[in-house]
Structure formats: C-alpha cells, structure tokens
Amino acid sequence: MIRSDNLPKINCVHVSKIEAGVVLANLGKLLEIEERNDCYALIISRMNEKQVFKFEKDTILITV
C-alpha cells in the first residue's frame, strides 16, 4: 500500500507549457516535443522504447 507521505507531487500543465525531462503520469519521461499545425507530438521514453503520443492543442497533462 502506498503511504500518503511517499506520493509524488502531481501537477497539471497545459501541453503548450510542458518541458522535456518531466515525467508524464502513467506514460514516462518526456524526451522531445514537436508542435504541429493541429497538435503536439510528444516523444516519451516508455518501456525502454521511444514512443510518440499526440495531444490536441488544448490538452492538460498530468506530471509527477
């Protein structure tokens, strides 16, 4: 069982303000960000692989 004093700090961040190096909740460490016309493409290190996740421009992300 997780103790409440061991929980990571949770932050809500607009996708346009996210920075490389943060850890996205349940996804992994953010390596790169690419702004496209219709979305943001985030390259995340997950399970020792680089994976691309696309988010609409009005998305709020949760970081830990």
Q: Mind listing the domains of the chain with CATH numbers?
A: 4-63 (2.30.30)
Q: pTM of the entire structure?
A: 0.83
pLDDT per residue as tens digits for the range 33-64: 999 999 999 999 999 999 999 999 999 999 98
Q: How far is CA 2 from CA 5, 8, 37, in A?
A: 9, 11, 41
Query: What is the predicted pLDDT for the residue at 2?
Result: 57
